[in-house]
Structure 1
């Protein structure tokens, strides 16, 4: 009996030693990510600050911004963001150059997965760092995978991918003010002569038209048009004289300016602030908060 007990005891001790040895070889994702981030910081000679709560991320204030006070949770933050793989340098996605993102400072923890629809994850580090900036400031955040897209990854971001995130804020706290600045910079850069409508859309008429039917919101129009972003990228165009629509179904910038200014044969250029175009929601390939540039020709007018 004693002999059997001793054999059992030794076997149990052996298993304990084996499992203990395995446990020592195992490293948590927090440890693994932490080592990779520290190696990255050292290799690139970065001067970064550790999260005060020591949750695992590091950040660097690139530019502090302007003004006398940092953002607070109730401020509207207008910003662009880019997401890269920390080790491989792959740019997974970035805010469109033609537009920007916007949210309240207290809700800056939301990070989408890409420019396509994959939902969003919660990354409180973004909010915590942005609230250390003034408007116009920028920052870099080194995120361990467990504070980013995690073990499952998402879209084209692999499992356990550490993230190098850059965020740049605009000086303005109002989208309307930002749009107006961007439009005026565009006008100056291109030496344009434009008139500002009371609804903040800018326009220039190259031909008022020769028709006799006045255009109203209920008019059925045949239109040639080309729509561009302010960087010159064409996002939509129809110049075959085949696009027929009722003016009331179009974006607000068209509805506000065209009635009373053009007839059949008229030509106009519109620089439309984002809230008079597709606004916060965007539409199709047009991103949220995009300011748009349209050339429009009225081919025909029908009033029923």
Structure 2
């Protein structure tokens, strides 16, 4: 009889323990997971927001104060502490929007603690991120996100874009010369043919890319483009005459000499453009 009562008592304890675990909320479970992640990886200096996300100011920034009316350019790299996630907005193609439309909420709320040019690290529980359903194939459900986020200091856009071009050249071990307009160029072959003027009609093979590496336009040597240089973007008018017919040049064009704030079908607004151009005739 005593053994029977002991068995029942043990079962009751196990049952109650199981019930206790099952009644923990998702918020409690994920908070414990985040805290364990911070301890295991020796991550310090994080502040817990009252809603449940954690953030750390890596760099305060020196630009404009960020508030809900602010228009910001955000670059970020996101992984997850419990799922397979690789989600990114390249610094060479940041996502521009008003702070109030930035998602998830943890990102925009954290931004209020820095200025433009600043950087944050944010850990967002799934219920404050993309929930149980996730977002497309990139962000699975129930993913706790670990994000490194930067806000572009673009009040002086020419200086901001010039710094990006220099970073890109350095990171890719490229050399280029900066002209008086702010366009960077590298003459690969000068050419021995006729001189080119801003009104010349030219036949060219070229590849146009964003600094992310995405090709947005191309004409191969087997099927070159014939066009008046006067009908091209300003960057071409300024840089292509640096070579002669038969020449080849690579140019890095600030957005003001490309399409500026006017987005094209495959070119986001305010994009720096990279072209490799060969003038055939």
For normalisation by structure 1, the TM-score amounts to: 0.66
CA deviation string 1:4-28 (max 9, x = no partner): xxxxxxxxxxxxxxxxx97983333
Q: 1:177 corresponds to which residue?
A: 159
State yes or no: 1:139 paired with 2:120.
yes
Choose which of 41, 54, 69 in structure 2 pairs with 1:44.
41
Gaps (5+ residues) in structure 2? 1-17
Give the secondary-structure state (helix, strand or coil) at the position aligned to 2:161. Answer: helix
Distance 1:149 1:234 in 2: 27
CA deviation string 1:34-54 (max 9, x = no partner): 232232233333331111xx2
Gaps (5+ residues) in structure 1? 1-20, 111-121
Contact 2:192 2:245 in 1 (8 A): yes
Contact 2:104 2:130 in 1 (8 A): no
Matches for 1:176-215 after TM superposition, within 5 Å? 176-184=158-166, 190=174, 192-197=176-181, 200-203=182-185, 207=190, 210-211=193-194
State yes or no: 1:79 paired with 2:62.
no
State yes or no: 1:154 paired with 2:152.
no
Q: Rg: which structure is higher?
A: 1
Matches for 1:137-286 after TM superposition, within 5 Å? 137-156=118-137, 157-184=139-166, 190=174, 192-197=176-181, 200-203=182-185, 207=190, 210-211=193-194, 216=199, 219=201, 221-227=202-208, 233=213, 235=215, 238-247=219-228, 250-254=232-236, 256-257=237-238, 264-265=245-246, 267-277=248-258, 281=263, 284=266
Q: 1:61 corresponds to which residue?
A: 57
Matched positions, count: 256
Q: Which moved more, 1:244-253 or 1:143-152?
A: 244-253
Choose which of 258, 272, 281 in structure 2 pairs with 1:291.
272
Give the secondary-structure state (helix, strand or coil) at the position aligned to 1:242. Answer: coil
Distance 1:207 1:155, change over 3 A: same
Contact 2:130 2:142 in 1 (8 A): yes
Distance 1:186 1:149 in 2: 32
CA RMSD of aligned residues (A): 3.8
Contact 1:150 1:159 in 2 (8 A): yes
For normalisation by structure 2, the TM-score amounts to: 0.71
Distance 1:190 1:213 in 2: 26
